Structure 1
Amino acid sequence: MCNCDTGGDDRRSCYPSSLTDEVWAVLEPLMPVRDRRKGGAARRYGDRLVLDAVFFVLRSGCQWRMIPRDLLPWDAAYRWFRTWAADGTIDRVHDALRDQVRIQAGRQADPSAAVLDAQSIKSSEGGQARGFDMGKKTTGRKRHLIVDTLGLLLVVMVTSASVQDRVGGREILQRLAARFPSIALVWADGGYANSIVNGLLAWAKEKLGLVLEIVKRSDDVKGFQVLPRRWVVERTFGWLIRHRRLARDYERRTVNSETMIKLAMIRLMATRLAGQTVQWSNTSEREAARRLTVETHLAA
């Protein structure tokens, strides 16, 4: 059931991107508590309505100025988007949901292993950190992701597409080690073990205490191949680009790109915790879901 009540008698229209009552029940306890003792005018728009507007932009891919008028003014939605990103609200909500999903799946809140990969994506004209990926022949940006073994986001870093995987990998591994000291093993593809930078694996072990294990593709197999461990992060990339705002990088600043990725994962995790089902849309995702189910039963 969708309820877009702002808290008064005014009822707003509902869209497919609007939060259901069940999903909002998961998110509401994690939103910042307003301190009325600080004074000032009462807020005109509630947190749920603001999130509905932000998720409308994320799912539809529209410009902020094209938010429907029966939601709220675009500048109010964008202001709260920037405020929650700057004060750490989005990070806190995201991390809390990830811990809940891991615990619900029978895992410890602190992960011990992770998967690293990068994805080059086209961007709009101009903006911060825009370059050309010679390998993928793509002009835009690169998303460096580290996820846990469930595919949940641990660390994200958006750079110019011209940044090589090995260079970006070193930076994001440092961020991972600083935030998640419990992680000891990271899987990655062969691009992170190029002989030109011979010391990446040794550097990760010596400086960060991380074992970087390379999962290589078989030269005998042509076309699509589901690779052990690496399919987890590939599935996460698939989750992200279902959101039209993330199918191409439209953000002017890389920090906003990272925030949009976190918001996509917040919506996904809140939906899971609300008990709503996820429909697999293609063969690779169904195969990934089947493998995850098998691995979960074996671990149990």
Structure 2
Amino acid sequence: MCVCRCKPRYETSLTDRQWAVIAPLLPVRDPRSGGRPLKYDRRLILDTILYVLRTGCAWRHVPRDLAPWDAAYRWFAAWTTDGTWHRVHQALRDQLRERDGRNRQPTAAVLDFQSAKSAEGGEEIGYDAGKRVRGRKRHLLVDTDGLVLHRVVHAAGVQDRAGARRVLHGLHEQFPALELIWVDGGYVNVVDGGLLDWAQRTEHLHLVVVPRNADVRGFQVLPRRWVVERTFGWLARCRRLARDYERTTAHAEAMIDVAMIRLMAARLADEDIEPQGPIETEAARRLAEDLKQNQ
């Protein structure tokens, strides 16, 4: 029988309505001990993981009125290994797309990456000479609303085109209706357009480059690409993702899943917690313009 503990209502904690969305998707038994019931309440475990994700604190520094840090970390790792986070993320994304009147299978997406400094050692640590960052790259493929379709974390030293191939390889098996992907100009080989040709030939995907304006310095809000930039903005509000603190790329990818699970659960519970910042404000303005033009 699960042991429920009284807990304070931290800002990072799930609301009752958000928990009602997630609870049916989480395992109820311990797969490591013959299927016995979990020792700690699943909601308490998830609230502890969300506390670490949102505040960026070390596992050992979680408040004592949450679950023991080692139990929370153990279940975070176990649910990463058995694919629980990925399955929950997929289920919530499908539910959200259907609620918004869209098909579960997207036909278009946006691809981009972010270099993140590594605060720890671990696997696949490299140096991105272009961004002058030692750490890892996070490649995100998102739908036209910014929901993550696929994520791959790898060493920062891997070239953009090679990283994109990791994301796109076998993508049609999961998303058979996907045909069009908007990408950054950095993915294009100016000599032979290697990635574009490869994607069309092997994955039957049409990649469209959204170029930057060379006359404008600094950050630019670009057509289509602002969608994935907004998603990176959502993730950046989770301080655990401000740097890459994970020892393994699997855990780094799982943290992205957990961040999106929280955001999508809030939307499905009609308790939108979408951050509001410069990127989100500009994205909302452009979205309103697009809707007005399509009417």
Normalising TM by the smaller chain, what interval?
Answer: over 0.9
Once the two structures are superposed, what CA deviation does each residue of 1:160-201 show, in whole Å capped at 9, x if it has no partner?
111111111112111423321210001001001122563211
SS in 2 for 1:195: coil
1:18 is matched with: 13
Counterpart CA distance in 2 for 1:246 and 1:232 is: 19
Displacement of 1:219 = 1.8
Contact 2:185 2:209 in 1 (8 A): yes
RMSD of aligned alpha carbons? 2.2
1:27 is matched with: 22
SS in 1 for 2:169: helix
1:274 is matched with: 269
Gaps spanning 5+ residues in structure 1: where? 1-5
1:43 is matched with: 38
Counterpart CA distance in 1 for 2:189 and 2:61 is: 45
SS in 1 for 2:151: strand
Q: How has the CA–CA distance of structure 1 residues 27 and 41 changed in structure 2, closer, same or farther, with 3 Å as cutoff?
A: closer
2:245 is matched with: 250
Once the two structures are superposed, what CA deviation does each residue of 1:111-144 show, in whole Å capped at 9, x if it has no partner?
0111000110101132111111110011111001
Contact 1:249 1:257 in 2 (8 A): yes
2:279 is matched with: 284
Counterpart CA distance in 2 for 1:167 and 1:40 is: 41
Counterpart CA distance in 2 for 1:277 and 1:35 is: 32
Counterpart CA distance in 2 for 1:147 and 1:265 is: 11
SS in 2 for 1:14: coil
User: Normalization by structure 2: what TM-score?
Assistant: 0.93
Q: Residue 201 of structure 2 is aligned with which of 206, 220, 229?
A: 206
Counterpart CA distance in 1 for 2:4 and 2:184 is: 54
1:227 aligns with 2:222: yes
1:176 is matched with: 171
Counterpart CA distance in 2 for 1:284 and 1:151 is: 13
1:98 is matched with: 93
SS in 2 for 1:202: helix
User: Normalization by structure 1: what TM-score?
Assistant: 0.91
Counterpart CA distance in 2 for 1:158 and 1:224 is: 23
Once the two structures are superposed, what CA deviation does each residue of 1:46-81 show, in whole Å capped at 9, x if it has no partner?
111110010011011111111211111111111111
Q: How many residues align?
A: 294
Q: Amino acid of the residue matched to residue 216 of structure 1?
A: P
SS in 1 for 2:127: strand
Q: How has the CA–CA distance of structure 1 residues 100 and 42 changed in structure 2, closer, same or farther, with 3 Å as cutoff?
A: closer
Gaps spanning 5+ residues in structure 2: where? none
Contact 1:280 1:286 in 2 (8 A): no
1:3 is matched with: none
Q: Aligned residues: percent identity? A: 56
2:109 is matched with: 114
Q: How has the CA–CA distance of structure 1 residues 232 and 67 changed in structure 2, closer, same or farther, with 3 Å as cutoff?
A: same
